[in-house]
Amino acid sequence: MHQGRPPARRTGRRGRESMRTPLHEDGVGLLLHGYGLGARIWARVPRGARAAPMRLLGRPALFVRGAEGVAAFYDETRVARHGAMPALVQGTLFGRGSVHSLDGDEHRHRKRTFVDVAYDSDEVARYLPLLETEWQAEVADWAAGSQRSAYDAAVGTFGRSVMAWAGLPGTRAARTRWAARLAQIVDGFGTPYSPAYLAAAANRWWSDRHARDLIEAVRAGALEPAKGTALHAWAWHGDAGGALLSSRLAGVELQNSMRPMIAVARFVAFAAKELHDRPEWRARIAVETAERGRVVGGPLATAFAQEIRRTAPFVPMLPGWALSDVSVGGETVRAGGRVVLDILGTDLDERSWERPEDFDPERFVGVDDYEALEAFIPHGGADVASGHRCPGERLAIAGLAAAVAALSDPRVGILGDGLEVNRRRMPTMPASGGQVRAGGGGCPFHRSEGTPPDRGL
C-alpha cells in the first residue's frame, strides 16, 4: 500500500511531450489567486478541455475537471490521496493519521465507522430535532435583538447540536466554546502565512487533547455515551486486526465526525448573502417554512442549500498522487506526479450544468439523488462507503437547509453591508459573515441597502 511517498517518477518522451508544464509554479498562484487560479489554468488550454498541465510544489501535475476528471481522481487504482496534501494543511485541519490520509482497504475499514455514525438514515433523523430546536431559538434571539452574524450563529447552533448528537457531555456554554475553537481551525488552516494559522494550530492541540480525554473517559467507564453515537463508536473502534485506535487518533476521528458540520457555518454566510440578493427566494422559503411549521426539511430551502454548495465550495481544488500514468482528455501525467481535481471548475462545468454561472436553486428542485450527479462534488465524489465522498454530507445538507429557512424568517432581515467575498483567501466567505437584525429589511420582498451583489466565487 502507498505509504506517504509518491511512486518513483518515470520519464520518457511521451511523458515530456504530454506534460508541457509552464516554467512558473502554480502553488504560488494558489496563494496569489485562491479560487481564481482554476480559471487562469483553463485559460492556458483550449476551451472545454478536460485536463490542463500544471506544476505544483515542484512536480508535474494534471489539473482535471468534469465527470471525466472526477472518475480519474477517485479511481484508487490510479490515484492515491495519502501524502498528497501538504502536511501543514493535513495535520491542522484533519489531524495526523486521520482517515483522510488513508487509501485502499485501510481507508475503507475506518470509513465504515464514519458511514455507520453519520450517513445512516436513522442517525440523520436523530439529528433533525436538535437542529430544529437550535435554529428556532436562534431566530427568536435575532427577533429579540441579538446581533450575532449568520456565521457566528451557525457555529454555535451546529456545534451544540452536533456535540449533543455525537454523545458528548458538557454545558451549552462549553459546547459553544469548543465549537468556536473548531471553527477557527477551519478558518485558519489554509493560511500558513498568517497569525490565523498559528491560532488554528493551537486550537488543534487543545482539541486533540480534549477529545483524547473524552475517549479515555469512555474506555475507563467514567462516561457511558449511547451506543451508535460518534463518541461511543470511536472509543471502541478497532482497526482491521481488532486493536483499538490510540486514544489520540480515536479523538481525532471523533472530531472529524463533528467538525465538518461546524464548517457548514461558512456556507451559511454565503446563504445569507444569496438570500439578501434574492428577496423572491426568501419570500418563497418563508411561506414554505410557515406552512410546514418547522425549519428542517423544506424542499425549497434544501434546493437553495444545494445551489449554495454548488457555487461556493469549501476549497477550490484537491490533490492526489498518480500511482501510474493518468490520462484525461488527451493529457497525461506520469506516475509520481500529482492529479489535481478542480472542485469549483467541476461544480461550474459548462458541459455538466445548464447556465452554470447563474445562481438558480430551481435546478435542484425535485432532485433527491444528488449523489448521482457526477459533477456535483462540494463534499467529494465517488461512492460514500468505498470512496472519499464525505459521509457527513446528509447532515450538512440538513443543517444548511435549516439555516436557510431560519434566515428567511420575516421577523429578521439580512443587512447588505460586508457581503463582499475575498476570492484569494481559503477558505473564504462574505466578510461580515452575514449580519442579521430584527426587522432590518425584515420583509423578504425588500432588499436592504448596502454592497451590490457579488456573484459568488
Q: Identify the DSSP state of 390.
A: -
Length, in residues, of the chain: 457
pLDDT at residue 416 in the model:
96
Q: Identify which of 396, 437, 404 has the alpha carbon closest to the alpha carbon of residue 298.
A: 404
pLDDT at residue 38 in the model:
97
Residue type, 327: S
Instruction: Give the Å distances, CA to CA, from 439 to 142, 157, 444, 450.
Output: 9, 21, 10, 16
φ, ψ (nearest 5 deg) of residue 188: -100, -10
Do residues 414 and 276 touch, judged by C-beta distance below 8 A? Answer: yes
With cut-offs at 50, 70 and 90, classify the pLDDT of residue 190.
confident
Domains of the chain (ranges; CATH) run 111-314+358-438 (1.10.630.10)
The whole-number average pLDDT for the span 266-294 is 98
pLDDT at residue 104 in the model:
82
The whole-number average pLDDT for the span 26-39 is 92
With cut-offs at 50, 70 and 90, classify the pLDDT of residue 457.
low
- Predicted confidence (pLDDT) at residue 161 exceeds the cutoff of 60: yes
Q: Identify which of 442, 389, 331, 401 has the alpha carbon closest to the alpha carbon of residue 60.
A: 331
**Is the model more confident about 410 or about 24?**
410
Do residues 64 and 344 touch, judged by C-beta distance below 8 A? Answer: no
- Rounded to two decimals, the pTM is 0.90
φ, ψ (nearest 5 deg) of residue 352: -105, -20
Residues 6+ apart with CB under 8 A from 129: none
Largest distance between two CA atoms of the chain? 70
Alpha carbon distance 234, 16 (integer Å): 46
pLDDT at residue 12 in the model:
35
Percent of the chain at pLDDT above 90?
76
With cut-offs at 50, 70 and 90, classify the pLDDT of residue 81.
confident
Residues 6+ apart with CB under 8 A from 301: 285, 288, 289, 295, 401, 402, 404, 405, 408
With cut-offs at 50, 70 and 90, classify the pLDDT of residue 24.
confident
User: Is the peptide bond prior to 427 cis by the omega test (within 30 degrees of 0)?
Assistant: yes
Instruction: Give the Å distances, CA to CA, from 18 to 6, 60, 193, 334, 390.
Output: 20, 11, 34, 9, 33
Report pLDDT digits (tens) over 39-72: 999 999 999 999 999 999 888 999 999 999 999 9
Q: Which residues of 40-55 are buried (b: 16+ CB within 10 A; e: fewer)?
A: ebbeebeeebbbbbbb
